[in-house]
C-alpha cells in the first residue's frame, strides 16, 4: 500500500494508514544534501541517525569553503583585510546564534567545541568556583554521559551530593518527585530538554521556576531540542543552555554555551591563553570580557561561520515547521513499529511528548546485529547504549536500536526501515 492510499484514523492522531501531509518540502530540502544521493551496498542511503550527527547542506559547505578560499586569516588579531573579513563573519555568526535561541545579546554566546565541552566548562568554572562541600547537584536518570560524568567527577572532588530525578514507567521524568529532591542545599540542576534515547520532551519552565524558587541555578542540555524545535532562553529563563553544531546541520568542532551575563562575568576562565587575555605582564594576566574570556587560543572560526550558515538554513524553514515535520514522522514510525512482531518501543508512545527518535528492541535480536543487517539494505541506524549507560542500566537493557529523523527524512524511509527489519528477522529466522 502506498502512502497515498493510507487513510486517516479519524481521531485526530496519525494512524498507521494515514496520509502523511508534509510540513516541509522534503524533496527540495533533500536536494541540498549531496550525501543523500550516495548509495550504500548498491542501495539508496536511508540515513536514520541524525540524533548522533546530522548531514550537511551545500549552503553550510559553501560558506566554509568560501572562507578558506577567499577570506582566511586568524580572527581578532589582524588589521589587514583578510583578518577583518574573517572576524566580521565570525562575530556575525555569534549574532545569528544569539537571535536563533532568543538570547539578549551576542555576548551571551560562548563558542566551545561541542555541548560536552560546554558542560565541562560549567562543571569546572561554575561548579568549582561556586559549589561547596555538602552542596547538592540534581540531574536525571536519562542524561547523556556528557551531562552525567562531569557532575560525578565534580561531586567526588568537592564533596558534593549528586541526586537523580527518576524516570516514570512511561519513560518521562517523574517530576512529582521534584519537590522532595529539591532542598535548601540544592545549588545546581542540570537536565536534558529532550532525551537522546527515550525521545521524551520535558517542559523546562516549571522545573526552572521551582529550582529558582530555592536559589538553584539551572542548566538545560539543548543538544536534542535546539536543532529540532523552537527554543527561547529568555522565555525559559534558564541560567545556561548548551548545544552542539554538528547535530543541527553545522560542522563538527563547534558548540555553544549560552549563559546569563552576570553569571558568565562572575565565572573564572576554563582555559587560558590567546584571546581570552586582555593584558598580561610579569605580575599576572587580566582576563578579557565575556565571551572572549572563555575562548582561549585560535577559535574554530570557520566552523562557527558554518554553524551560522546552518542557523540561516533552519531559520528559513521555521523551527515550528521542523518540529511539526518530525512529530508526524515520529507518529508514523511509532505506528509502523508497533506492527513488527517482537518489537518493543522504549520511551513515550505519544508523539506530542516525543522528539524525532524511535528507540526499540527486537525480541531475540541484538541491536548490533540488527544494525549490521539493516546496513546491508542501505538503512543506517544507531545501536548501543547511546552514551547513556546509566539509563540503560535503569531500564535493565544492555543496548537498544535507535532510528532518528530530521528535516530531510521522508515517510518512505520509515517504510524502508520496517521492511529492512522484516528482512533481518527472516535472515536470523526470528
> Is it the case that residue 335 has pLDDT exceeding 90?
yes
What count of residues does the chain have? 430
Signed CA dihedral, 367, 329, 241, 291: sign only: positive
Q: In terms of pLDDT, which residue wins out, 79 or 5?
A: 79
pLDDT > 60? residue 8: no
- The rounded percent of the chain whose pLDDT value lies above 90 is 92
Q: Beta-strand (E) ranges in 24-123?
A: 39-40, 43-44, 46-47, 109-112
Rounded CA separation 122/125 (Å): 5
* Among 196, 212, 187, residue whose Cα is nearest residue 142: 196
Q: Is the pLDDT of residue 189 over 80?
A: yes
Domains defined along the chain, listed by start:
3-48+318-428 (3.90.1150.10), 60-316 (3.40.640.10)
SS3 of residue 152 by DSSP = helix
- pLDDT computed for residue 4 by the predictor: 35
What pLDDT is attached to residue 185?
Answer: 98
pLDDT score at 429: 79
Contact (Cβ atoms closer than 8 angstroms) between residue 227 and residue 196:
no
CA distance linking residue 367 with residue 362, whole number of Å: 7
Residue 93 contacts by C-beta under 8 Å, 6 or more apart in sequence? 304, 305, 307, 308, 311
H or E element at residue 256: strand 255-259
Which H or E run contains 37? none
What does the block give as the cell for 120? 565541562
Torsion of CA 193, 199, 200, 202, to 10 degrees: 20
Distances from the Cα of 38 to the Cα of 4, 33, 43, 119, angstroms: 26, 10, 8, 35
Alpha-carbon gap, residue 177 to 207, rounded angstroms: 11
pTM of the model: 0.94
Q: Average pLDDT of the chain?
A: 93
Is 192 exposed, middle or buried (CB count within 10 Å of its CB: 0-12, 13-18, 19+)?
Answer: buried
Q: Is the pLDDT of residue 418 over 50?
A: yes
Which pLDDT does position 311 carry in this prediction?
98
Residue 135 and residue 154 in contact, taking contact as beta carbons nearer than 8 Å = no
SS (H, E, C) 189-239: EEEECECCCCCEECCHHHHHHHHHHCCCEEEEECCCCCCCCCCCHHHHCCC
261-295 per-position pLDDT tens digit: 999 999 999 999 988 999 999 999 999 999 999 99
Q: Is 324 exposed, middle or buried (0-12, 13-18, 19+ CB in 10 A)?
A: middle
pLDDT value of position 242: 98
Per-residue confidence (pLDDT) for residue 94, from 0 to 100 = 98
- The tens digit of pLDDT for each residue in 54-66 reads 999 999 999 999 9
Catalytic residue from among 73, 266, 317, 387 = 387
Q: How much is the average pLDDT of 395-413?
A: 98
Catalytic annotation present for 238: no
Q: How confident is the model at residue 20 (pLDDT cuts 50, 70, 90)?
A: very low
pLDDT at 168 over 50: yes
Residue with cell 551545500: 58
Average pLDDT, stretch 419-430?
A: 91
pLDDT confidence bin for 77, thresholds 50/70/90: confident
How does residue 318 score in pLDDT terms, banded at 50, 70 and 90?
very high
> pLDDT digit string (tens) for 32-46?
999 999 999 999 999
Is the pLDDT at 101 greater than 50? The verdict is yes
Residues 6+ apart with CB under 8 A from 126: 188, 217, 240, 263, 267
Amino acid at each position: 500500500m502506498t502512502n497515498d492510499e493510507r487513510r486517516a484514523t479519524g481521531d485526530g492522531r496519525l494512524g498507521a494508514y494515514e496520509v502523511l501531509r508534509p510540513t516541509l518540502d522534503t524533496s527540495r530540502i533533500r536536494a541540498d544534501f549531496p550525501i543523500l544521493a550516495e548509495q550504500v551496498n548498491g542501495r539508496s542511503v536511508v540515513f536514520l541517525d541524525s540524533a548522533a550527527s546530522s548531514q550537511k547542506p551545500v549552503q553550510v559547505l559553501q560558506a566554509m569553503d568560501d572562507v578558506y578560499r577567499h577570506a582566511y586569516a586568524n580572527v581578532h588579531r589582524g588589521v589587514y583585510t583578510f583578518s577583518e573579513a574573517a572576524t566580521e563573519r565570525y562575530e556575525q555568526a555569534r549574532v545569528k546564534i544569539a537571535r536563533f535561541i532568543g538570547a539578549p545579546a551576542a555576548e551571551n554566546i560562548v563558542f566551545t567545541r561541542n555541548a560536552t565541552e560546554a558542560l565541562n566548562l560549567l562543571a569546572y568554572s561554575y561548579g568549582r568556583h561556586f559549589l561547596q562541600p555538602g552542596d547538592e547537584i540534581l540531574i536525571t536518570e536519562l542524561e547523556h554521559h556528557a551531562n552525567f560524568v562531569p557532575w560525578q567527577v565534580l561531586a567526588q572532588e568537592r564533596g558534593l551530593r549528586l541526586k537523580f530525578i527518576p524516570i516514570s514507567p512511561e519513560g518521562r521524568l517523574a517530576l512529582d518527585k521534584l519537590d522532595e529532591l529539591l532542598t535548601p542545599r540544592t545549588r545546581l540542576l542540570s537536565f536534558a530538554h529532550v532525551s537522546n534515547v527515550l525521545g521524551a520532551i520535558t517542559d523546562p519552565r516549571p522545573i526552572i521556576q521551582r529550582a529558582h524558587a530555592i536559589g538553584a541555578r539551572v542548566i538545560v542540555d539543548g543538544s536534542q531540542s535546539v536543532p529540532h524545535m523552537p527554543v527561547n532562553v529568555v522565555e525559559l529563563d534558564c541560567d545556561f543552555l548548551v548545544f552542539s553544531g554538528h547535530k543541527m546541520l553545522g560542522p563538527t568542532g563547534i558548540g555553544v554555551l549560552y549563559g546569563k551575563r552576570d553569571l558568565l562575568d562572575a565565572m573564572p576562565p576554563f582555559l587560558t591563553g590567546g584571546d581570552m587575555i586582555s593584558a598580561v605582564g610579569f605580575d599576572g594576566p587580566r582576563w578579557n570580557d565575556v565571551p572572549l574570556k572563555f575562548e582561549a587560543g585560535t577559535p574554530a572560526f570557520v566552523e562557527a561561520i558554518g554553524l551560522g550558515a546552518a542557523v540561516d538554513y533552519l531559520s528559513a524553514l521555521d523551527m515550528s515547521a521542523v518540529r511539526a515535520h518530525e512529530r508526524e514522522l515520529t507518529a508514523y514510525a511509532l505506528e509502523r513499529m508497533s506492527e513488527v512482531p517482537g518489537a518493543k518501543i522504549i520511551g513515550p508512545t505519544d508523539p506530542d511528548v516525543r522528539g524525532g527518535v524511535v528507540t526499540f528492541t527486537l525480541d531475540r535480536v541484538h541491536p548490533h546485529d540488527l544494525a549490521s543487517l539493516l546496513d546491508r539494505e542501505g538503512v543506517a541506524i544507531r545501536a548501543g547504549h547511546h552514551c547513556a549507560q546509566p539509563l540503560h542500566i535503569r531500564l535493565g537493557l544492555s543496548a537498544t536500536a535507535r532510528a532518528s529523523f530530521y528535516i530531510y527524512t521522508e515517510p518512505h524511509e520509515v517504510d524502508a526501515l520496517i521492511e529492512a527489519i522484516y528482512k533481518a528477522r527472516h535472515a536470523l529466522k526470528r
